[in-house]
Structure 1
Amino acid sequence: MTTVHHQREAGNTPLSMPHYTPAGTRLSNTTRYLCTAAFLVPGFADTVVDTLIGDMRRSVPPSHGFDLDPIVRQCFRVRRRQAAQHAIGTVLLLIAAYLSIVTVLAVAALGALVAFARSATLRELLERLRLPSLRWILAWALALFGGWIVYGLWQLIDEEVPSDYTDTAADAAGDHPWVALAVLLGIAGMLYAFRREDYRIVTAEFAPGAAPRRLRLRDTLIEDRLALIAAAQRGNVVVHHDDPFLGCGRVRQGWSLSLTLRPRTPDGNRPEEPVAIDAVALNQRIKKAIESMRADWLDEGQRVAGLSVRSYVVADGIRDEHDPVLDPVSGMPYTMADDATVDAIVANPQGGLRQYLRVVIPVRGKAIRDQHDDVILGAQALGISVSAFVHVAVEGGMLYAEFIGTVLPPLRPECLLADSLRPEKAASYALGSTLRTAIVDVVAGPLRLAQAADRAIRLRLAMSRSVAASTEFRTHDYGARVSVRDLASDRVPQSYLQKLDGVKYVKLVDRIVGEAIIDFLVEAGVDPLEFRQAVNQITMNNSSLVQVGTVLGGQNNFGGSGNVFTSSGGSAHA
C-alpha cells in the first residue's frame, strides 16, 4: 500500500516522510470495521475529524493493519449526512410547534426524562452511591412521571377554546394537536430512512471483498491535511504527546534490567574494565530471534501467524521551531527513519530519540487440520492484537534492557456488523435502532443542528489557530493524542480466549527476548549470571497480567512477599 523513500536531500535531515498510495482493490478488515464505526459508534466521526484534522501540525500514531485515509473520509461523509438529517428534523419540528406547541412540549418533556434516565451521569452517580439497581427503579418512576405530564398536557389540549379567541395565527398554532403529532411521526420516519441508509451503506460498501470508494472532499485545505496524515501513519517514528505506545493497548507486562558488562573469568574474579559490546548487533540479534517464531522450518501449525518486527522510534511531542525532526515544508514532524538512522539512534542512547523493536501479533488464528490435512476448524480471528516493545542500550559500561507487552482489546461489536448482518435484514435492524432512541431524537434536531454548525465553525478556527500557534511560539506540541483504533475499541478483552491469548503471546515474546540477550552476552564473553537470575525471577513472578517490583541488589521483592532472591549487582524492574 505504501512505498517509502530513504533518499536524503542535500542539507536535509536523515528523517523523511513516507509516500502514500490509496487502497487498491479492497480495504483491510480493520479499515472496514473503523469505517463502520463512523456510522454506528456515537461521537466517533466527530472525534476523528476534530482531532486529526483540527490541528494542522499534530502528528499521528502508526496505523498497523488499517488505513486512516478512507476512515477520515467516511467520517466527513457521516457529518454531512447528520447535518442534513438535523436540518430536516428542525424544519419539521418547527412546523409541528406552529401547529401545536403544547404537543411538542409534551413530547420534549418526555424525551428529556428518558434521556436523563439513560444518561451516563445518572449511571455514574448511582455507581458512586453503590446503588446500580436503583437506576431501573428511577427509570420506571421517570416514565410514569413523564406519562403524567403528557396526560396533563393533553388535557389542556382538549379544553374548549374560548369563543372570543379570534386570532387566526394563534388559533392555527394551538388547535391542531393531531396534525402536529403526525408531523412528529414524520420526523421519526425520516430518522428511520436515514438509519436504514446507514445500515445499507455498512452492509454493502463495507462488506468483505467490496471494492472501496474513495470519496473526494470539496475543501482543498482538508484534502492537503488528509494527505499529510495518510503518509505520516506509515512511518516508524512516533511523535507523542504523553503516551509513546498510543494505539497499542494497555500495558500488561513489563520489566527493565541493568547489568554491568563484566567478563567471564575462570577464577571468579570481577575485573573493573567492562566488555565492549555492540548495541546495534544486539538489537539485530533480538530481532532475528523474534522472527524465528514464524520461521519456515517450523510446522505450519506451530508458526506465529502474522508476526512482524520493525523499528519503533519514540520522540517527545514538544519540539523547537528549528528541530531537525520537523519538516520545514509541511510543518509536521517527520515519521520515517531509514536503517542507518535507526542504527545511529541505537548506538547513541543519550539522544532525544529512543528506539524500540516493536513486535506485532494480530492473533488472527489458524485453521486446525487433521493428519490428512483436512480442515477440522477454520481460522478464527479473536479481534485482539498483541504488541511487545524491546529497547536495549549500552552506556557507561552497562547494559540496559527494557520489555513492555501490551494487548489491544477487540473492536466494539457494532463495528463488526458488516460481517454479521445480512443486507436484507438492514431495514428491520434499522427500525429497532430508531425506535430505541426516537422519543429523544424527534425533538433533538434543533440542538444537534446547532452543535453541528458549531463543530464546523470550530474546525475551521482550530485549523487556522494551530498553524498560527506553531509559528508564533518557539516551541509547539506536535505529539499525537488520539488513536482511531482506540476510539472504537472495547475497554478490555471480553472472552476467556482473548484474555488467554493476550497473556500467552506476551509471555512467548518475553521469553525469547530474554534468551536472545543471554545468548548474545555469553558469546560476547560477558558473565550473564545476574541477568539470567533476574530474568528467571521475573518469569516466575509474572503469573498475572501485570506485576510490579524492583531489583536493586541485595534482597529484592517481585510483586509480593515471599518472592525474594539475592543479587550482588545489577538491577531490574518488573
Structure 2
Amino acid sequence: MPDASPARRSPSTTTRRLCAAVHLDSGLAERVVAELTDDPRRAVAPSVGLDLEPVLCHALRARLLGTVRDAFLTVAVVVALILAPRTTAAVLLLGAVAGLCRSKAVRGAPPAGRALLAAALVFGLVTAVGAVLTVAGSTAAAPGGELDRVVAAVGAAPGGRVWAALAVLAGCAVAGHLAHLWWTATTLTAGTHPAPVRASTARRVAVVAAAQRGNVAFSRGDPFVGAGPPVRAWSVAVALRAIDSGGYRPRSPATLDPVLLRRHVGQALQGLGDGTGHHGVPGLTVTSYLAADGVRGGGDPLLEDGVPLPLASREAVDAVVRAPQEGLRHYDRVVIVPRARAVTTAEGRPVVPPDDGDGHVSVFVHTSIEASVVYVELSAHVLPPVRTACFVPAPVVHLELLTQLTAAPWRLTRTAAHRLRTLARRPDPGGWHDHSARLGIRDLVGDPTAALPALEATKYVKIVERVVVEAVADFLERYDLDATSFRAEVPTTR
C-alpha cells in the first residue's frame, strides 16, 4: 500500500471545487460515498489532479448534514399531520408537484413536453375537485345536506389547528434550511477537512487516501477507469525486419528486450516536460500504469486481506512487460494537467496571470515485442474542466423549501434502507469477488461543453502521439531494424 499520510500540500483547484460540489449537490455526495465506502473491498481508481481524502470527508459530512435536516423536517411533517392531516396532505401534494416540475427530466424536456405536462396536471386537479363535488352532490338528499356542509367547510375560515400546522411546516422548513446552510458554510471554511464520525468509516477513508496514489487500476470493464472519455485510440503491429547495412548488428530481432523499448519510449516522453518556456509542456508527468482485471479470488498475490494492492514496484512492472497476460497489462501513462504560465510582454509587463486548470489529458502507451513483432498501442483520454454548477451556488428559490419539506420523509427512508442493505452484506474473504472500481469521482463533474479546453487537449494528444511514433522508430533504427513499415502503419492524425 502507498503511504497513507504524505506531506500535506495546499489543495488543488479541482479538489477545492469538488469539496464544494458535494455540498451543493446531494446526489453527487451520495454517489461519491457509495462508490468509495459501500464496499470496503472495492478498488479505488488512481486520481490525478485532486486529493480524494478531503472530497470523501466532505461528502460524508454533506450526507450527514442532509440526513439530520431530513430527520428534523420529517418530525415536523408528522406533527403537522397530527394537527391538520388534510391541510398537511395538501401542502405535501403541492410540494410534490413543484418538485416534479423542477426536476431535471422535466426541465430537460422540450417546450411541447412541458406544456403537455402542465395541461395534464391542471386537468388532473380539476378532475379530482369535480369528482369530490359530484360525490358530495349525489349524497345530498335535501337542502342542508352533505353538499351544503362541504361548501360551508370550504368557505369557512381555517381553524387554530390548521394555522398551527402551517406554522410548524413553514417555521421548520425555514429553520432547517438556514441551519443546513450555516453548518455547510462552517464546514467549508474550516482549516481542515471534517473527520469521519465512525471508526470503520475513518479506516476506509485512510485506505482510499492511500490507494488513490497507486499505479494499478482494477476494473473488469474499463482498464482506464477514472481517466475520462476516450478521444483517440490506435494500435499497430509490425514484423521486425533487419536492414542489411553491411555493418555489425548488435542484436537480432528475436532477442530484443521489450523493457528496453518501454524505457526508450518513456525517456522520450519525459523529455517533453523538461525545460522552461516553450521548450517544455507544463504539468506533464510520466508514470507506470498496470490495468488489472477486477475479479480476483482468495489467495491472489494482488490482494492483501481481501483488499486490492494499488501500488506495483518497478521490478513488478518490468516483469509484466516481459510476460504480459490477459488479466494484467502495462502502460506508460502520460498525464498533462494544463497549468497556464503567466503571459508577459517582452518588457516584462503582465498580460495574463497564471491559471491552475482543473482538466487534464491522459495518454496510455503500451509497447511489447513478441514473436519478432513490435506492438504499439495508444489510447488518449480527456477529463474536461469541472462544470460551473458544481462550485457556483444557484440562486435560492423559495420553492426549494417546499420541495425539501415534501421529499424529506422519502429521503430519510431511502437512506435508512440503504444503510440496512450495506450492513446486511456478509463478504466472503476467501471466495471470488469483483473488486473493480466502477468509476472515477472526477468523471461525475466534467463539463463536456467547454470548447477551449477541448482544443488544447487535442493539441497535447497530437504532440504526445508524435513523440511516441518517433521514439519507437528511433529505437528500431538503433538496432538496424526497418522502421519504414511501422511509420506507414500508424494512423494519420485528423
Taking the aligned partners of 2:125 and 2:401, their CA distance within structure 1 comes to: 16
Deviations 1:513-537 (A, max 9, x none): 10111111111111011111122xx
Query: Among 192, 207, 210, which residue is 1:212 paired with?
Result: 192
Deviations 1:337-387 (A, max 9, x none): 111221121122247421100000112222111112332111234532100
1:183 aligns with 168
Q: Determine if the alignment matches structure 1 residue 485 to structure 2 residue 442.
A: yes
Q: How far is 1:439 from its partner? A: 2.8
Taking the aligned partners of 2:192 and 2:7, their CA distance within structure 1 comes to: 7
Query: Among 442, 448, 451, which residue is 2:405 paired with?
Result: 442
Q: How far is 1:95 from its partner? A: 2.1
Q: Secondary structure at the match of 1:356?
A: strand
Query: Among 512, 524, 529, which residue is 2:467 paired with?
Result: 512
Q: How far is 1:193 from its partner? A: 0.4
Taking the aligned partners of 1:345 and 1:26, their CA distance within structure 2 comes to: 36
Q: Secondary structure at the match of 1:336?
A: coil
CA 1:109–1:333 in 2, change beyond 3 Å: closer, same or farther?
same
8 Å contact 1:260–1:274 — kept in the other structure?
Answer: no
1:496 aligns with 451
Taking the aligned partners of 1:282 and 1:354, their CA distance within structure 2 comes to: 16
Q: Determine if the alignment matches structure 1 residue 356 to structure 2 residue 337.
A: no
Q: How far is 1:85 from its partner? A: 0.4
Q: How does 1:427-438 map to 2 (within 5 A)?
A: 432-438=395-401
2:115 aligns with 137
Taking the aligned partners of 1:440 and 1:149, their CA distance within structure 2 comes to: 24
Q: Secondary structure at the match of 1:411?
A: coil
CA 1:26–1:74 in 2, change beyond 3 Å: closer, same or farther?
same
8 Å contact 1:195–1:434 — kept in the other structure?
Answer: no
8 Å contact 2:13–2:356 — kept in the other structure?
Answer: no
Query: Among 28, 34, 42, which residue is 1:50 paired with?
Result: 34
CA 1:83–1:225 in 2, change beyond 3 Å: closer, same or farther?
same
8 Å contact 2:65–2:180 — kept in the other structure?
Answer: no
Query: Among 366, 386, 392, which residue is 1:391 paired with?
Result: 366
Q: Secondary structure at the match of 2:189?
A: helix
Q: How does 1:56-455 map to 2 (within 5 A)?
A: 56-121=40-105, 132-138=110-116, 140-141=118-119, 144=122, 160=152, 176-197=161-182, 200-201=185-186, 204-205=189-190, 211-213=191-193, 215-265=194-244, 274=253, 276-296=255-275, 299-327=276-304, 330-350=305-325, 352-417=327-392, 432-455=395-418
Q: Secondary structure at the match of 1:309?
A: strand
Instruction: Mark the runs of 5 or more structure 2 residues left unpaired by the alignment.
Output: 133-146, 247-251
For 2:436, the aligned partner's letter is: G
Taking the aligned partners of 2:472 and 2:256, their CA distance within structure 1 comes to: 12
Taking the aligned partners of 1:458 and 1:480, their CA distance within structure 2 comes to: 20
Deviations 1:386-443 (A, max 9, x none): 00000001101111100011111221213333xxx7xxxxxxx6xx435242332222
Q: How far is 1:101 from its partner? A: 1.9
CA 1:376–1:120 in 2, change beyond 3 Å: closer, same or farther?
closer
Deviations 1:265-312 (A, max 9, x none): 259xxxxx745322112111111111222222xx41442111000000
CA 1:231–1:178 in 2, change beyond 3 Å: closer, same or farther?
same
CA 1:233–1:370 in 2, change beyond 3 Å: closer, same or farther?
same
1:10 aligns with none
Query: Among 512, 520, 524, which residue is 2:479 paired with?
Result: 524
% identical equivalent positions: 34
Taking the aligned partners of 1:448 and 1:402, their CA distance within structure 2 comes to: 47
For 2:317, the aligned partner's letter is: V
CA 1:174–1:55 in 2, change beyond 3 Å: closer, same or farther?
farther
8 Å contact 2:98–2:399 — kept in the other structure?
Answer: no
Taking the aligned partners of 2:296 and 2:10, their CA distance within structure 1 comes to: 38
CA 1:68–1:516 in 2, change beyond 3 Å: closer, same or farther?
same
For 1:289, the aligned partner's letter is: A
CA 1:508–1:25 in 2, change beyond 3 Å: closer, same or farther?
closer
CA 1:278–1:372 in 2, change beyond 3 Å: closer, same or farther?
farther
Taking the aligned partners of 1:218 and 1:196, their CA distance within structure 2 comes to: 20
Q: Secondary structure at the match of 2:283?
A: coil
Q: Secondary structure at the match of 1:433?
A: coil
Taking the aligned partners of 2:390 and 2:177, their CA distance within structure 1 comes to: 20
8 Å contact 1:393–1:399 — kept in the other structure?
Answer: yes
8 Å contact 1:359–1:387 — kept in the other structure?
Answer: yes
For 1:97, the aligned partner's letter is: L
Q: How far is 1:120 from its partner? A: 4.7
For 2:424, the aligned partner's letter is: L
Query: Among 521, 533, 540, which residue is 2:488 paired with?
Result: 533
For 2:181, the aligned partner's letter is: R
Residue range with higher mean Cα deviation, 190-199 or 302-311: 190-199
TM-score (norm 1): 0.76
Instruction: Mark the runs of 5 or more structure 1 residues left unpaired by the alignment.
Output: 1-16, 127-131, 163-172, 206-210, 268-272, 422-428, 544-574
For 2:119, the aligned partner's letter is: A
2:140 aligns with none
Taking the aligned partners of 2:93 and 2:148, their CA distance within structure 1 comes to: 15
CA 1:157–1:316 in 2, change beyond 3 Å: closer, same or farther?
farther
Q: How far is 1:157 from its partner? A: 11
Q: Secondary structure at the match of 1:86?
A: helix
Q: How far is 1:114 from its partner? A: 2.6
Q: Secondary structure at the match of 1:360?
A: strand
Q: How far is 1:174 from its partner? A: 7.0
Q: Secondary structure at the match of 1:508?
A: helix
Q: How far is 1:196 from its partner? A: 2.6
CA 1:495–1:485 in 2, change beyond 3 Å: closer, same or farther?
closer
8 Å contact 1:53–1:222 — kept in the other structure?
Answer: yes
Q: How far is 1:223 from its partner? A: 2.1
